[in-house]
Structure 1
Amino acid sequence: MNWQTYIKSFQSYLKIERGLSKNTIDNYSFDLFRLTQFLDKNSIQKNPITIGEEEIQQFIYAISKEVNPRSQARIISGLKSFFSYLIFEDYRSDNPMELIETPKIGRKLPDTLSVQDIDALIAAIDLSKEEGERNKAMLETLYGCGLRVSELITLKISDLFFEEGFIKITGKGNKQRFVPIGSTTQMFIELYKNHVRIKLNIQKGHEDTLFLNRRGRQLTRAMIFTIIKDLAVKINLNKAISPHTFRHSFATHLLENGADLRSIQLMLGHESITTTEVYVHLDRKYLTQVVNQFHPRK
């Protein structure tokens, strides 16, 4: 079998057995495509079963000149998963990635917004336009619930449990979690749902999707990015922000106000608490307050 046959089989495994998103599968596939391009370019006649550590090292050395250490680490991680899959399926007995070292990378601290920045962005939304009510509800939901942009655009009306004070979120790997939603965010969603969304010509298949575009279809990730960046320009906010900035701000503001990491982890849907721990590094002042408040020898 050639590379494409094995890659297609790997893609099916990632989708069906591991439940990974299309974006994640595309990233894994692109990494493997880069490897096959490198082999072709250098006339290296190796398939997924015969390729060894030497050829992999040559490839890693070549890409190290093109990408930063963080991207390099991601590519190495993707290749390790591919060859682990081949071993799992008994296609080969050894992993050529076993001795490949991942470059050391510093943990990148996420950008955050102050409460005042968020208030200013939301206040800049033009409510004279019908999509203004939708945009306000979306940004309030991003910040109020700490959602990923993919979770926001796929949020269903049937996922809203306002009486119980929760919304059901389907996150990475189709894992579901319940996230608390405050009364303010609920109010803005209800305003949009009952006064704007109800007027749309909703297309088939999108009847349960909460946030829709003017054509009655699910919004794209790119549209959310555009809305936020346009608002940042409008208020002269000199920060590079994205939908994820609202998620980071949600977590940081909770931590600053005394929430524990385990609760934040559950709300964000992080599989490991080490992912959530990055927020501890954001505000040294908060850590000083914790010591002063709780340590017996303060």
Structure 2
Amino acid sequence: MTNAYDLNSGRLRQRFDDWRYRPSVRLYISRMQDDGYSRPHTYNSTRAVGEFARWLMDEHGNGGDVNEYTISQYLAVRAQRRTLPNGYRAALSRLLFLLRESGDVPPATPKRDQHQEVIAAFGQYLQHRRGLQLRTIASQTWHALPFLREIWGGGDRELRTIKRLDVVQYVERRARRRSARTTQTMCTGLRSFLRYLHAEGLVDDDLASAVPSLRTWKHATLPTFLTAPQLDAVLAHCDRSTAAGRRDYAILLMLVRLGLRANEVATLKLDDIDWESGLFSIQGKGRQQAVMPLPTDVGTAIVDYLQNGRPSSACRQVFLRADTPCTAFPSAGGVVLIARRAIKRAGISGLAHHGSHVFRHTLATSMIRTGATLTEIGQILRHQHHDTTRIYAKVDLPRLRMLSLAWPGGAQ
């Protein structure tokens, strides 16, 4: 019986006859299979690309370009003639991305307004002159853009017209709607941006000093942590009969047993694990490399996921998305979401925070209550500064009781 989704059928291949991008179609099919798409989905996406190719050659000849304009034009024409099937737009967007990745199609020219041009130059400055990581650059430019849009109108008006009072009033308006931590981050980004403007001669005064300082108390709050029964409930509610459950269980064990940060788990690669020695390497904050032991239960959970849950993929990251495309997590947000969902499944409420960092706090709290010193905790969590670890002294209740003074007048 003929396979209805035969990717090598002559009828499907005829759609690409004489098309100049025909060699990329085989790569397109291979990439979809590697990303975990089903055979019917891959066939239908390839058919959509074939219909687009025939239309493009009919309308523009074999020299027709693949870009956002021609794709939008085709989809509009296709929708007028008959119903546009689900997935066509995504299939053609995937084609465009692949052609640009391989260099067959030139990259898109971003359309930027004056504000975005200034922010783009600021980002280049942070990357090439300051050597900051992309996440830090994204944070600082994210806070700088709304400031620029609100304070500077663009056009013929120069950046030199920005005054110190403008900066102060902007921060005061924004601070009313934000937490103290978010406001601090915003002020840090604004100071960096204003120093850049002064260094490049775009403003006359160093306006960074006009950004108000937000007074906050260090270590003013208690770390959020889980009790031992709560921790057991989080792990027990992972459905390890499914591929996603095995992945989540392995991720949670790495958070629980080793206190890893979400980004360290998301970026862990297969090559980072030395199975013979029982060690693995990670890149922590500030590009700091660290080698850590791999506990037996954590290693067993990872092996179970690799053998019985991880999709077949050329991606070298250990943990992949469960849904297609089965690629690596684009950011630490995927691990944070897994942790948040696990806490919710366990029915745990009343926590100040529900992200992956709760498990890091839990490990430190458990260590200090079993007699570990702050120095030992700082080494396990890889804190660069001893002050960062001092927050956990506040949960060491037995030792704090030894330091407490007697209440005047007797017991209360």
| TM-score (ref. length: structure 2) | 0.60
1:84-233 mapped onto 2 (5 Å cutoff): 84-87=195-198, 94-106=205-217, 107-197=220-310, 200-202=311-313, 204=314, 206=315, 208-214=316-322, 215=324, 216-219=326-329, 221-233=332-344
Asked if structure 1 preserves the Cα contact closer than 8 Å seen for 2:127 and 2:133, the reply is: yes
* Contact preservation (8 Å) 1:142, 1:148: yes
In structure 2, how many angstroms separate the alpha carbons of the residues matched to 1:7 and 1:176? 31
- Structure 2 vs 1, CA of residues 248 and 38 (structure 1 numbering), >3 Å: closer, same or farther? same
Deviation of the 1:94 alpha carbon: 4.7
Shift of 1:57: 1.1
- Higher relative CO (CA 8 A, sep ≥ 6), structure 1 or 2? 1
Contact 1:19–1:173 (8 Å) recurs in 2: no
| Deviation digits for residues 110-162 of structure 1 (CA, Å, limit 9, x no counterpart) | 31112221111101111221322221111001111211212111111111134
Distance 1:286 1:189 in 2: 38
Gaps of 5+ in 2: 1-113, 405-412
- Name the % identity: 25
Alpha carbons of 1:238 and 1:36: their partners in 2 closer, same or farther (altered >3 Å)? same
**Change beyond 3 A, Cα 1:164–1:259:** farther
Distance 1:95 1:273 in 2: 33
Aligned-partner SS, 1:113? coil
Q: What is the CA deviation profile of residues 20-65 of structure 1, one whole-angstrom value per residue up to 9, with x for unaligned ones?
A: 233x322211211121132147x9x551x55342221121222233
* Distance of aligned partners of 1:18 and 1:38 in 2 relative to their CA distance in 1, 3 Å threshold: same
Distance 1:161 1:19 in 2: 30
When the two chains are superposed, the root-mean-square deviation of aligned CA atoms in Å is: 3.1
Q: Report how far residue 104 of structure 1 moved.
A: 1.5
Deviates more, 1:98-107 or 1:83-92: 83-92
Q: State the partner residue of 2:137.
A: 25
Distance 1:244 1:89, change over 3 A: same
Task: Answer yes or no: is the 8 Å Cα contact 2:368–2:396 preserved in 1.
Answer: no
Q: Match of 1:243?
A: 356
Is 2:124 the partner of 1:12?
Answer: yes
The 3 A distance-change label for structure 1 pair 5 and 40 is closer
Residue 395 of structure 2 is aligned to residue 282 of structure 1: yes
Please state whether the residue corresponding to 1:238 is helix, strand or coil. coil
Q: Which has the larger radius of gyration?
A: 2
Q: CA deviation at 1:286?
A: 4.5
1:97 aligned counterpart, secondary structure: helix
**Corresponding residue SS for 2:263:** helix
3-state DSSP of counterpart to 2:280: strand
> Matches of 1:236 and 1:156 in 2, distance apart?
32
In structure 2, what is the Cα distance between the partners aligned to 1:266 and 1:14? 30
Unaligned runs of 5+ in 1: 292-298
Change (3 A) 1:76 1:223: closer
Secondary structure of the residue aligned to 1:169 is strand
